[in-house]
């Protein structure tokens, strides 16, 4: 099928890759733009959606199969992770040290990790998830729908790390997936190349374990040092804990649990 709807979240399926469209009340928001202008317009039409009403497009990254349809969205402002700019200005090559991403032909806004955009009736949280590219970004919509692009795919309903040869830093991708595993209340996980799932808990089960092991490692490090060194570890490692979560609140929660367990009490 060319198109579908996941819990009223339209999917524009281009066969190899998918984009998503959000009805924000007074306009539409696209998440990636597919492989080409004509196919993007055709998929929109099949869902009775007008491309002219897409006023914002959020890019997970700038590979050609994700930005190829930007020409179908003349009224849309593009949004991307600030780190992805280096992929577009000739600073950082995409592949093999010599292949570069093409710059956008339209105006764009760069985004920070943790930044929130209010578009119509939607709150979109921007989560930097580098690894596949330098500035890959995931988007959390109304605290319930998570769009992750190519950062991970689904196999038998579980999130996996594939596309390794096409990714710039797979160790960084692992960190990004662990970071996403800390999110709560997700009812829909949307990928670019392997569809979607409404069972986020199952999809991220193995990665949650990785997150817990990382937290445990910090806790063990805390136990093995003096009070003076402990202060230094706290300042050095709290940023690492933040990277495993979506914002400061759960990060502090994880740190407090680690500190409690190091004192011999149960969190």
Query: What is the mean pLDDT for each group of 10 consecutive residues in the chain (267 residues)?
Result: 58 85 95 93 92 96 92 94 88 76 77 97 97 95 96 92 89 94 94 94 87 55 45 38 32 28 33
Q: DSSP letters of the chain?
A: --EEEETTEEEEE-SS-EEEEEE-SSSEEEE---S-HHHHHHHHHHTT--GGGEEEEE-S---HHHHTTGGG-TTPEEEEEGGGHHHHTTSS-SBTTTB-PPPPSS-EEEE-TT-EEEETTEEEEEEE--SSSTT-EEEEETTTEEE-TTS-EEETTEEE---GGG-S-HHHHHHHHHHHHT-----EEE-SSS-EES-HHHHTHHHHHHHHHHHHHHHHHHHTS-HHHHHHHHHHHHHHHHHTSSSHHHHHHHHHHHHHHHTT---
Q: Does 183 lie in the same domain as 86?
A: yes
The number of distinct structural domains making up the chain is 2
Q: Does 250 lie in the same domain as 133?
A: no
Q: Does 185 lie in the same domain as 83?
A: yes
Domain closes at, from 158, 187, 203: 203
Distance between CA 229 and CA 242 in Å, rounded? 20
pLDDT at 125: 98
In a domain, 88, yes or no: yes
pLDDT at 97: 67
Distance between CA 50 and CA 79 in Å, rounded? 20
Q: Does 191 lie in the same domain as 64?
A: yes
pLDDT at 208: 82
Q: Please choose, from the candidates 236, 167, 161, 243, the residue with its C-alpha nearest in 3D space to the C-alpha of residue 206.
A: 161
Q: Does 248 lie in the same domain as 194?
A: no
Beta carbons within 10 angstroms of residue 34's beta carbon:
27
Q: Does 187 lie in the same domain as 105?
A: yes
In a domain, 122, yes or no: yes
Q: DSSP letters of 15-26?
A: SS-EEEEEE-SS
Q: Does 185 lie in the same domain as 71?
A: yes
In a domain, 68, yes or no: yes
Q: Does 246 lie in the same domain as 121?
A: no
pLDDT at 250: 31
Domain closes at, from 203, 222, 251: 203
Residues 6+ apart with CB under 8 A from 91: none
pLDDT at 253: 26
Q: Does 211 lie in the same domain as 174?
A: no
Q: What is the dihedral of CA 159, 163, 166, 170, to 10 degrees?
A: 50
Domain closes at, from 203, 234, 252: 203
Distance between CA 33 and CA 50 in Å, rounded? 14
pLDDT at 7: 56
pLDDT at 189: 96
In a domain, 267, yes or no: no
In a domain, 32, yes or no: yes
Q: Does 104 lie in the same domain as 15?
A: yes
Q: Does 227 lie in the same domain as 136?
A: no
State the pTM of this model.
0.77
**CATH classification at residue 85:** 3.60.15.10
In a domain, 92, yes or no: yes
In a domain, 105, yes or no: yes
Expressed as residue numbers, the domain containing 212 is: 207-262
pLDDT at 91: 84
Q: Does 129 lie in the same domain as 44?
A: yes
């Amino acid at each position: 099928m060319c198109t579908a709807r996941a819990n009223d979240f339209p999917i524009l399926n281009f066969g190899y890759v998918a984009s998503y469209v959000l009805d924000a009340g007074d306009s539409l928001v696209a998440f990636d733009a597919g492989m080409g202008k004509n196919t993007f317009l055709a998929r929109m039409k099949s869902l009775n959606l007008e491309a002219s009403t897409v006023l914002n497009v959020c890019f997970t990254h700038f590979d050609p199969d994700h930005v190829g349809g930007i020409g179908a969205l003349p009224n849309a402002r593009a949004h991307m992770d600030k780190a992805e700019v280096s992929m577009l200005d000739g600073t950082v090559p995409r592949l093999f040290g010599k292949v570069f991403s093409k710059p956008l032909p339209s105006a764009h806004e760069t985004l920070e990790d943790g930044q929130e955009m209010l578009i119509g009736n939607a709150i979109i949280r921007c989560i930097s998830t580098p690894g596949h590219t330098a500035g890959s970004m995931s988007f959390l919509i109304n605290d319930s729908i998570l769009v992750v692009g190519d950062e991970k795919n689904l196999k038998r309903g579980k999130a996996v790390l594939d596309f390794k040869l096409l990714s710039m830093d797979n160790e960084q991708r692992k960190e990004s997936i662990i970071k996403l595993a800390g999110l709560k209340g997700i009812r829909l996980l949307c990928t670019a190349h392997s569809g979607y799932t409404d069972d986020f808990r199952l999809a991220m089960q193995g990665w949650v374990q990785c997150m817990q092991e990382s937290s445990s490692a910090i806790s063990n490090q805390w136990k093995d040092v003096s009070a003076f060194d402990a202060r230094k570890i706290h300042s050095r490692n709290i940023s690492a804990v933040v990277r495993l979560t979506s914002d400061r609140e759960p990060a502090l929660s994880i740190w407090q649990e680690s500190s409690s367990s190091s004192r011999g009490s149960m969190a």
